[in-house]
Chains A and B, each alone.
Chain A
């Protein structure tokens, strides 16, 4: 989208034979970048800028929807957010924040040098911005792969142990018992850990489970609601990165995020104090940071195009609109991350 916008704004000379028919041939002859339907470069520049700001407004509302989802879910499950936040690496998030801020500075500097027709300096700044974007994505890649390895993912996979033949852990069996007993005779199925979808279980159970399966999307397992009474008796204040204790790590670092990250896959499933619906935190986390990451990638493409055009010598103090507009885009990407960082990584 922004690509198109940048192209729009580029105002490359439009090959209209009648471009001089309007009695403004003088302006158009003086400024080869001036599109035929604009009268002056200032009008063209202002239009492009307003167009870009409107586009940024749509970006803000686009992310706004996700921020609302975040707010609603956090309002509903505060314990989930304060618990799950500790699985994120503040160090990596903090480094990424700084990387983006610095790349914003280099982008603003690129505009600064473009405005002064300093081509080489502008190109250096653009390359630096590109490097910042790449660094951000590399760090993000490591964060994502690590979490996926740990099964810290969205949806039902969050609860699926990596080893499907794993026996039911004694403690959780006990916890599960009351609910299973309430089922009346269904407790024998409680150990059927390998069964993934209700539809694949035995016939009788399949029938019993039909309404539940209907609730779940596409036959996937469903996870509902609040913790057991035993679990909810644990006060939120005492909830924390319990993986520290359970996974055997003795590192009592003040912030447990890194230590948890060292745990073996699905360590979180052994945490008896994990509140229900933690997968929702990761759903929102992946949705928001993923969409943001896509915007970073788009930004890299657009900056690449700027570098290409800059090397071709398209930009000077008379015409630098595309650099300015891509700069605006890049800053909004930074700006959104400025909100994502505390909302996900810095929940006390």
Chain B
């Protein structure tokens, strides 16, 4: 926050070391913002499609626990590609990047704490249904897998 400029900068809006739009009052150059070449966009899209194919392929490999980590890893890479190139985050103001990754961090924080909590009492949970509940199940959906209180 504190490294942000105090007053609005002149016309060159986007921060970062990349080529900036020059000042042109009219015509085919933007007044503000950052130009991304079309090739970059197309290459990004192709990379995303290839990664999609890879992640589908991984699904059919049996590598136990690692399946979800690989799938999530690929998803994170894809999401980063979208954010950095499609959403121009690579050339955008750093604070926008902070906002975005900050909020992801908070989701991770919430997820981490909730998982820590629920996995703590997972083994203490009653395995099966109390008799009356089991009876309700049998009443209403005889085909449902019915648990029974088997403490």
Contact = CB atoms under 8 A, between A and B. Distances in A.
A–B contact, 8 Å CB criterion (strictly below): yes
Interface of A: 30-31, 39-43, 45-46, 49-50, 53-54, 56-58, 60-61, 64-65, 67-68, 71-72, 75-76, 90, 94, 97-98, 101-102, 104-105, 107-109, 112, 115-118, 156, 159-161, 168-169, 172-173, 175-176, 178-180, 182-183, 186, 189-193, 195-198, 201, 205, 208-209, 211-213, 215-216, 221-229, 231, 254-255, 266, 269-270, 274-276, 316-320, 324, 327-328, 331-332, 334-335, 338-339, 341-343, 345-348
Nearest to A69: B114
Contact of B96 (A50, A189, A190): A50
Contacts of A54: 99
Given A90-B59, A98-B52, A347-B67, A317 B103 contact: no
A223 B48 contact: no
B133 A222 contact: yes
Task: Return the 3 tightest CB-CB contacts between A and B, nearest first.
Answer: A159-B141, A64-B107, A221-B140
Contacts of B104: 60
Given A71-B115, A224-B130, A348-B59, A331 B99 contact: no
Interface in B120-139: 122, 126-139
A45 B134 CA distance: 61
B93 interface: yes
B137 A224 contact: yes
Given A53-B96, A54-B99, A270 B143 contact: yes
A46 B118 CA distance: 42
Contacts of B27: 117, 317
B137 A317 contact: no
Nearest to B26: A318
Contact of A68 (B56, B114, B131): B114
Indicate the member of B41, B62, B104, B138 with the most A CB atoms within 10 Å. Answer: B138
A169 B147 contact: no
Contact of B74 (A39, A57, A193, A342): A342
A182 B140 CA distance: 17
B93 A49 contact: yes
Nearest to B15: A46
B10 A42 contact: yes
Interface in B14-42: 21, 24-33, 35-36, 38, 41-42
Given A205-B135, A224-B147, A276-B146, 18 more contacts: A40-B10, A43-B8, A71-B114, A72-B114, A94-B56, A101-B52, A104-B86, A116-B28, A116-B30, A156-B140, A179-B129, A215-B133, A224-B128, A226-B129, A320-B33, A327-B87, A342-B59, A347-B59
A227 B140 CA distance: 16
Interface of B: 8-13, 21, 24-33, 35-36, 38, 41-42, 44-45, 48-49, 52, 55-56, 58-63, 67-68, 71-72, 74-75, 78-79, 82-83, 85-87, 92-93, 95-96, 99-100, 102-104, 106-107, 110-111, 114-115, 118-119, 122, 126-148, 150
A127 to B, nearest CB: 17
A90 B57 CA distance: 11
Given A72-B118, A94-B52, A41 B31 contact: yes
Given A41-B31, A221-B139, A183 B118 contact: no
A324 B86 CA distance: 10
A213 B136 contact: yes
A189 B138 contact: yes
A45 B135 CA distance: 63
23 contacts: A42-B11, A49-B96, A75-B115, A105-B86, A159-B140, A173-B142, A176-B146, A179-B146, A186-B138, A193-B141, A195-B139, A197-B140, A209-B132, A212-B132, A221-B137, A222-B136, A226-B128, A276-B147, A317-B24, A317-B29, A335-B82, A339-B72, A342-B68
